[in-house]
């Protein structure tokens, strides 16, 4: 099964519209909820009166800050810091912040009742970008933070003690930075920016909360992390985990937007107030107001030797994390060490600041902070190459990390095929070969980019296998099917390990009452972590079969082989099918064997020579991209003719699904490069809808997209595999930006790369600015 392009097991149900997404679920006696949101970016809540709304026919209950405080002794939540109230208590901090919520018999009644809630506000000064938020005299959005959120949260970022808009700071400092710049023959400094964007999953955030007669709570949620949601809901209510059950149906896309609680706290509070199930489904506009991708300003200063060696690099990044921390401190950390690039640099420093502003919260987004800093770092690599008269490909080759090098985090680089990804992209795009005759008004150019990315570490994944009396297997795992194909790959691994047809393996929805613990479905970690947990569970199941088979076949366990759905005496044809072993063992014609497996990365260390330290990442992604495009000098329009994406998968367990992941990443990167920006005027979002917020369409897709799956086996991965979902997003923007500079000789520093910016840059060059 391994290395085979097995078609998606859920493909037919998705194509025929039979998937039960959370938005499609119905529960008996279910109420519908709507949320009253702030229209101003920063204000003190003086009064919230829901008495008129409660008198409206069909309205069952209203959640206000006062009711929330009666329900919960700790009415705040958040994955790193508990700084976000379920609904407003004393202040609102962005336009869109929930003030109250209504549960009614239908959506129309709930929506109408929002207008009957009387709210009195006192406007407060607001800040809308990190630099303004850090300025002297800026209004401070939060008091001192309490954290970490969970005991296992690694606090390798600093939290300011004084009241300030700095949410967190992450720093890397290695070597002697000033010495490196003194030794450099050339020093380059550039600043790049990325705007706020949105994940835009097809399925909006949704949750159903149902209080049970026995005092328990069941929640169906469109979440990537059912166990995290359970933990935060239990803490919100001061309940034991055993009283909260979270079920995660398949998701219609997540991309990091659904990692942590969003609609669930409001649904739960309303359900407890009403004593009935409550469903919350966000509108598309509300999705835009719930979580975004961080806007960032990245300044990179790099010192280079005469021969092209990178000697020193200093990166300073400001991340706009919005009104609440959400997962911003971890994005800030991840982007901080990624900002220094996949290169050998002896002297370096990164300062990464996560800053509060009066805008919607920002959090995890596919690429997890690497896209913003790769746009800066890989654009600057081309600027350096052009200034020094060097080939951008050769300059990268000269400085790339290699197997066995120590990354600046202290980790030793293993199974990161950076050079092969870069070289194969360059070869596929025809690097060094100039195009034939061109239209002078539509010059062509080529560009490259290469990145390194970590996976979330430390984390835990556990799995359970249940072998039934007919030889079929039930697979229990907390990995959520978010479109990535886990519902196919995980059964593939079990089929390989047990030697049974994949159609005999059943994988249900993650259910915190049934499935064992899994940290999250994110960071492209599931194949690696859950794959190893499944292999361990399968080995434990084989051990049970050998032990039981030994008695039934009158042979020692060591003399038995477990393969092809049978337990066989080695060197003979004598054996029993798995189901026969189960039935004979229990003696009643039925029964089951259960086996567990766990893979954990807590406590893992990185060792190289006499140096040792905590492991930053259990594996490293390597990815490269290459673009060929043409630019219309008259209109500024950019047409991508070819794009090549290469990623080191370690081992492609299912090449078809791997290729699909990569192609999706390229399309997402195209949107982030050319179109996507959530714009604000005085803190008010002006395009929070899919008409005004421009997503890529078929006309934006490159005429040719080539996917290259590099396989550098990881010594610890299942069959050598790693992950492929995210790392092909970050190279897209810098590869295209570099190709534009190659085509027309002008450099763009601010995403998105619109025709207007192209024309402005050409005009500025002509005027000598």
Distances (CA, A) of 38 to 48, 95, 689: 12, 5, 18
Read off the tokens for 268.
Answer: 């739960």
Q: How far apart are CA 429 and CA 490, in angstroms?
A: 34
Average pLDDT taken over every residue of the chain: 95
Q: Which bin fits 515, alpha (ψ -120 to 50), beta or left (φ > 0)?
A: beta
Please say whether the beta carbons of 462 and 478 come within 8 A: yes
Distances (CA, A) of 144 to 131, 140, 163, 356: 20, 10, 6, 13
Among 34, 202, 189, smallest CA distance to 109 is for 34
Please say whether the beta carbons of 650 and 717 come within 8 A: yes
pLDDT higher than 80, residue 609: no
Q: What's the mean pLDDT in 362-390?
A: 97
10 Å CB burial of residue 151 (0-12, 13-18, 19+) is: exposed
> How many CB atoms within 10 Å of residue 193?
16
Q: What integer pLDDT is reported at residue 607 of this predicted model? A: 57
Q: What integer pLDDT is reported at residue 161 of this predicted model? A: 57
Percentage of the chain modeled with pLDDT above 90: 93
Per-residue pLDDT reduced to its tens digit, 48-93: 999 999 999 999 999 999 999 999 988 999 999 999 999 999 999 9
The neighbouring-strand residues paired with 295 are: 320
Among 502, 512, 500, smallest CA distance to 476 is for 512
Q: CB under 8 Å to 306, separation ≥6 — which residues? A: 185, 186
Helix axis angle for 526-553 and 486-498, nearest 10°, is 30
Please say whether the beta carbons of 596 and 516 come within 8 A: yes
Peptide bond preceding 458: is omega within 30 degrees of 0, i.e. cis? yes
pLDDT higher than 80, residue 514: yes
Q: What are phi and psi of 583, to 5 degrees?
A: -65, -45
Among 328, 331, 332, smallest CA distance to 316 is for 332
pLDDT higher than 50, residue 359: yes
Q: What are phi and psi of 126, to 5 degrees?
A: -130, 160
Q: How far apart are CA 237 and CA 264, in angstroms?
A: 12
Cα-based angle 636, 641, 643 (whole degrees, multiple of 5): 115
Q: How far apart are CA 525 and CA 388, in angstroms?
A: 39
SS3 226: helix
Q: How far apart are CA 694 and CA 688, in angstroms?
A: 10
Q: What are phi and psi of 728, to 5 degrees?
A: -90, -5
Distance of CA 19 to the CA centre of its chain: 23
Q: How far apart are CA 722 and CA 719, in angstroms?
A: 9
pLDDT class of 152 with cuts at 50, 70, 90: very low
In 633-693, DSSP assigns E strands to 638-648, 680-681, 684-685
pLDDT higher than 50, residue 102: yes
What secondary structure letter does DSSP report for 750? B
pLDDT higher than 60, residue 372: yes
SS3 553: helix
Q: How far apart are CA 76 and CA 635, in angstroms?
A: 50
Q: What is the DSSP string of 421-463?
A: HHHHHHHHHTTT---SS--TTS-EEEEEEEEEEE---S-EEEE
pLDDT higher than 60, residue 408: yes
Q: How far apart are CA 157 and CA 138, in angstroms?
A: 23
Distances (CA, A) of 509 to 38, 476, 538: 36, 8, 20
Please say whether the beta carbons of 200 and 385 come within 8 A: no
Q: What are phi and psi of 654, to 5 degrees?
A: -140, 90
Q: What's the mean pLDDT in 358-387?
A: 98
Among 235, 279, 288, smallest CA distance to 257 is for 288
pLDDT higher than 80, residue 333: yes
Please say whether the beta carbons of 397 and 329 come within 8 A: no
Peptide bond preceding 752: is omega within 30 degrees of 0, i.e. cis? yes
pLDDT class of 437 with cuts at 50, 70, 90: confident
SS3 178: helix
Please say whether the beta carbons of 363 and 327 come within 8 A: yes
Please say whether the beta carbons of 217 and 270 come within 8 A: no
pLDDT higher than 70, residue 220: yes
Peptide bond preceding 148: is omega within 30 degrees of 0, i.e. cis? yes
Q: What's the mean pLDDT in 174-201?
A: 97
Q: Report strand pairing: 91-92 vs 505-507.
A: unpaired
Q: What integer pLDDT is reported at residue 625 of this predicted model? A: 98
pTM to 2 decimal places: 0.96
Q: Report strand pairing: 444-454 vs 118-123.
A: unpaired
Distances (CA, A) of 320 to 317, 353, 355: 10, 9, 5
Q: How far apart are CA 117 and CA 50, in angstroms?
A: 5
**Terminal Cα distance for the chain, rounded:** 60
């Amino acid at each position: 099964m391994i290395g085979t392009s097995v078609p998606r097991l859920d493909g037919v149900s998705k194509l025929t519209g039979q998937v039960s997404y959370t938005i499609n679920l119905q529960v008996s006696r279910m109420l519908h909820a709507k949320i009253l949101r702030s229209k101003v970016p920063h204000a003190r809540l003086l009064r919230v009166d829901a008495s008129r709304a409660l008198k409206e026919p069909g309205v069952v209950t209203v959640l206000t800050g006062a009711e929330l405080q009666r329900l919960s002794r700790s009415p705040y939540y958040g994955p790193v810091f508990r700084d976000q109230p379920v609904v407003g208590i004393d202040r609102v901090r962005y336009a869109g912040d929930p003030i109250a919520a209504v549960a009614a018999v239908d959506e129309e009644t709930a929506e109408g009742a929002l207008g009957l809630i009387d709210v009195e506000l006192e406007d407060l000064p607001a800040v809308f970008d990190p630099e303004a938020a850090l300025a002297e005299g800026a209004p401070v959005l939060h008091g001192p933070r309490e954290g970490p959120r969970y005991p296992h949260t690694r606090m390798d970022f600093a939290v300011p003690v004084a009241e300030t808009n700095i949410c967190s700071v992450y720093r890397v400092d290695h070597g002697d930075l000033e010495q490196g710049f003194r030794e450099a023959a050339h020093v380059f400094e550039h600043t790049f920016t990325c705007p706020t964007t949105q994940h835009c999953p097809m399925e909006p955030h949704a949750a159903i909360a149902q209080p049970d007669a026995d005092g328990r709570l069941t929640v169906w949620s469109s979440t990537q992390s059912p166990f995290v949601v359970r933990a935060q809901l239990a803490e919100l209510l001061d309940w034991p985990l055993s009283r909260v059950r979270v079920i995660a149906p398949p998701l219609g896309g997540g991309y990091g937007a659904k990692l942590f609680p969003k609609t669930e706290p409001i649904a739960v509070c309303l359900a407890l107030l009403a004593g009935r199930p409550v469903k919350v489904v966000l509108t598309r506009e509300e999705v835009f107001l719930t979580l975004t991708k961080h806007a960032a300003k990245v300044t990179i200063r790099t010192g280079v030797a005469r021969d092209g060696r990178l000697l020193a690099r200093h990166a300073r990044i400001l991340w706009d994390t919005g009104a609440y921390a959400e997962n911003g401190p971890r994005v800030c950390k991840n982007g901080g060490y990624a900002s220094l690039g996949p290169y050998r640099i002896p002297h370096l420093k990164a300062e990464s600041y996560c800053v509060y502003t009066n805008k919607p919260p920002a959090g995890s987004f596919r690429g997890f902070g690497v896209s913003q800093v790769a746009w800066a770092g890989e654009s600057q690599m081309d600027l350096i190459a052009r200034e020094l008269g060097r080939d951008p490909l050769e300059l990268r080759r000269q400085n790339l990390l290699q197997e066995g090098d120590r990354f600046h985090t202290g980790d030793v680089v293993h199974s990161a095929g950076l050079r092969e990804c870069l070289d194969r992209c360059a070869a596929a795009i025809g690097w060094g070969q100039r195009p034939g005759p061109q239209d002078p008004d539509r010059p062509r150019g080529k560009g490259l980019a290469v990145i390194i990315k970590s996976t979330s570490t430390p984390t835990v994944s556990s799995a359970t296998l249940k072998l039934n009396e007919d030889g079929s297997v039930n697979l229990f795992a907390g990995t959520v099917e978010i479109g990535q194909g886990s519902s196919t790959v995980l059964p593939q691994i079990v089929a390989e390990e047990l030697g049974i047809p994949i159609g005999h393996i059943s994988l249900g929805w993650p259910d915190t009452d049934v499935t064992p613990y899994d940290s999250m479905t994110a960071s492209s970690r599931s194949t690696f972590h859950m794959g190893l947990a499944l292999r361990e569970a399968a080995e434990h199941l084989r051990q049970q079969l050998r032990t039981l088979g030994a008695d039934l076949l009158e042979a020692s366990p060591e003399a038995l082989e477990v393969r092809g759905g049978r337990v066989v005496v080695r060197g003979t044809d004598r054996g029993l099918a798995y189901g026969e072993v189960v039935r004979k063992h229990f003696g009643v014609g039925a029964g089951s064997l259960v086996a567990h497996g766990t893979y954990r990365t807590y406590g893992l260390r990185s060792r190289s020579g006499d140096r040792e330290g905590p492991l930053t990442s259990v594996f490293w992604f390597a990815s490269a991209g290459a673009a060929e495009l043409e630019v219309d000098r008259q209109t500024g329009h950019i047409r991508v003719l070819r794009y090549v994406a290469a990623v080191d998968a370690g081992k492609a367990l299912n090449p078809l699904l791997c290729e699909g992941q990569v192609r999706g990443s390229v399309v997402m990167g195209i949107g982030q490069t050319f179109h996507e920006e959530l714009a604000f005027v005085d803190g008010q979002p002006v395009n929070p809808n899919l008409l005004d917020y421009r997503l890529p369409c078929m006309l934006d897709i490159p005429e040719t997209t080539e996917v290259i799956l590099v396989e550098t086996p990881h010594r610890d991965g299942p069959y050598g595999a790693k992950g492929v979902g995210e790392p092909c997003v970050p190279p897209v923007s810098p590869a295209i930006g570099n190709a534009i500079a190659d085509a027309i000789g002008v450099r763009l520093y601010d995403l998105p790369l619109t025709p207007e910016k192209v024309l402005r840059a050409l005009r500025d060059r002509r005027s000598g600015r």
